[in-house]
Structure 1
């Protein structure tokens, strides 16, 4: 759909499209990297050789990703902050050659994605028990999402202010919307933004935040309030936003656009328009033009308006499948001929607005990141000092949910050392923010951990403290 990536890059070549990083440096790096990745592809006995991008510098990330992608490599995106545990999973899934980068100046490594097609990109997402898996997208699926976004907001050129990581679908799609539409992209670390080092973006731009970021900016006040008001929309997603935060944003006249989407759907599939938010609406908005959302019961039958059931998405932006869902690598799943049945529970009202009320799995969303408690519990038990563990998500206006670990210890003296021991094993967002020492954890008659009872126990202990 639309222009091929290679044609698009040629059309925009030398455009001054970046704000913050140097556009000139970007095009220089891209021009140097394209022949490098072309030579790499020609040298590998594979239809579409894999390249894993784990670059922390956003300008170099964009240049490497687009160069490899446009030359027909299969691009695999990785979080540069992943720890040893995550890297071990990557090794099992795509076998990156950490010792042999494609280009010495870039954190981009040869990897094996056997059977992939040219133009595919693997974007990381959570999985069962915290195992890394990738949603497999193509230029076509992402292009559909881009056009749906532009149509939903009625804009031709998308200008975006990005403080989110580019290896996430939330950050990547901002860059691609801008590139496709002829807009400008401001790239800035969130820590720099908090110091009021504003970058200059053309009027009518879009800012994407997770709830914790918006809450922090509102608390800082000062110049942030008029600055936030100046956007066409402040896209807010990635985690549930507390009512107090939304009310404060409305009182400050911030043009918030509540969004619902996921990696599998190439970012948002439903979005509340800012004018609706400022009028008091608190739903996830209506589906974008390329999306159909249905609500099904446990038997897979459509439910009437207003009744809560499983949210099912049908869209041409859906991922082609998963890589690594089986735990051994390989493309599994399908192009979702009957729709993507999500973990989310919600309903549609008579105005066609989507309301998400919760999740059916144990997944915890904290600060916009998907966390699976089973993974953290396994790491805790592997330390040797923990006899039993349960990680729960405590309701939190700032983080959406705050990770809390209930642990049964062999020796209480080991508890202070646990957070530090986990730092090298897990990504920072997976580290519990609250620790509770207990003598035993609630379990069912069959010996299974009772997560609802564990959550209630944690809330009771904290309330009594």
Structure 2
């Protein structure tokens, strides 16, 4: 479905319930609706409704347009779920900036039906799994990506393997940082090319700080100039550049030592990539009588046992963790989970995944 946002009188007739919902939002926006109720993703708890104002959403859209050089007449591919903030804000950017929107119901490979020689888009946003699928299974679609002005990747962390694969794309690819409360992203991190960086750069006018836990707080027009406190532990390079260390609510206390699982996962994922292993992983803290919590590496694989190659890679990763972080951060056990649990927006649901593992491993 294609929407020319500058000509609402020629908008298409919806063919599916999803298209009807998407068009209903666009019409509400064009009629000047002043408040919208969206839901958080539920990746760290129960999804909850949040009311966002038109002014907040417009401010966010304009900042993104300025940061990426988007303008009227550009063509955007909308392939994120428009029931959540990431997809909704793709619609708002198109409506506010005068872009033509091609809307697709979310799928694993949003480019599968497009001709790589003919399809022309200037802008899009993916979750990491979508982009990984495109590069792994349909490399012939690469010209579509290369012709874009900017590509956003959000909703979950990008793995070392994906970041390496992104170097094949010549168009700028950015990781996003934000949440429903900040009306999508408030900072971008370049993932490919000579300008790639480990640090996010805040958009213009965004003010950042940390609380006594070292967790980021954000104040911006998109948050209605109210402070939004996160649970993300960060390190600052300066007042507008920061790096994510992990989440305060995922910290594992093992034998009295606090461990940030995301740091461990990053090391393991990088080494798995060196062994051409692309399984998703997660470090969990499971109940232990002696340690309180013991570190366990959960691996997503339909296999019923750990392969020799995976055992070798994990052994190398354990040595690397011991050297880079310390012996207390080394997962001692490996657990198999056939399928990790995800939220409706495609984010890893850590709690539900651990619960699924425990239910299958219980005697």
TM-score by length of 2: 0.64
User: Closer, same or farther in 2 for the Cα pair 1:206/1:340, shift >3 Å?
Assistant: same
CA distance in 1, matches of 2:86, 2:171: 20
2:169 pairs with 1:181: no
User: Closer, same or farther in 2 for the Cα pair 1:192/1:210, shift >3 Å?
Assistant: closer
Matches within 5 A, 1:431-446: 432=353, 435-436=357-358, 437-438=360-361
- Structure 1 position 14, deviation (Å): 2.0
CA distance in 2, matches of 1:146, 1:194: 24
CA distance in 2, matches of 1:152, 1:439: 50
Say whether the 8 Å CA contact 1:163–1:209 is kept in structure 2.
yes
User: Closer, same or farther in 2 for the Cα pair 1:235/1:184, shift >3 Å?
Assistant: same
2:8 is aligned to 13
CA distance in 2, matches of 1:214, 1:63: 26
1:344 is aligned to 232
Q: Deviations over 1:289-338 (max 9, x none)?
A: 132222x2417xxxxxxxxx21111111116xxxxxxxxxxxxxxx62xx
Structure 1 stretches lacking a partner, 5+ long: 1-8, 16-22, 30-55, 73-117, 300-308, 320-334, 364-391, 408-415, 441-465
2:181 is aligned to 264
1:247 is aligned to 164
- Structure 1 position 273, deviation (Å): 4.8
* Other structure's SS at 1:25 match: coil
- Structure 1 position 234, deviation (Å): 1.4
* Other structure's SS at 2:70 match: coil
Matches within 5 A, 1:414-425: none
2:62 is aligned to 147
2:216 is aligned to 311
Say whether the 8 Å CA contact 2:5–2:101 is kept in structure 1.
no
CA distance in 2, matches of 1:156, 1:10: 12
- Structure 1 position 25, deviation (Å): 1.6
- Count of residues in Structure 1 that have an aligned counterpart in Structure 2: 283
Q: Deviations over 1:367-421 (max 9, x none)?
A: xxxxxxxxxxxxxxxxxxxxxxxxx9994686875598989xxxxxxxx9xx9xx
Say whether the 8 Å CA contact 1:287–1:353 is kept in structure 2.
yes
CA distance in 2, matches of 1:194, 1:156: 23
2:319 is aligned to none
Q: 2:202 aligns with which of 287, 298, 301?
A: 287
CA distance in 2, matches of 1:253, 1:145: 26
- Structure 1 position 439, deviation (Å): 5.9
Matches within 5 A, 1:30-69: 57-67=17-27
Q: Deviations over 1:99-153 (max 9, x none)?
A: xxxxxxxxxxxxxxxxxxx722111015697323122101111001011111112
2:97 pairs with 1:209: no
Q: Deviations over 1:56-86 (max 9, x none)?
A: 73320123234456668xxxxxxxxxxxxxx
* Other structure's SS at 1:257 match: strand
Matches within 5 A, 1:22-421: 23-25=11-13, 57-67=17-27, 119-126=34-41, 130-157=45-72, 158-188=74-104, 189-191=106-108, 193=110, 195-198=112-115, 202=120, 205-273=122-190, 277-279=192-194, 281-294=196-209, 296-298=210-212, 309-318=214-223, 336=226, 339-350=227-238, 352-362=240-250, 395=265
Say whether the 8 Å CA contact 1:269–1:291 is kept in structure 2.
yes
Say whether the 8 Å CA contact 1:404–1:432 is kept in structure 2.
no
Structure 1 stretch displaced more, 207-216 or 124-133: 124-133
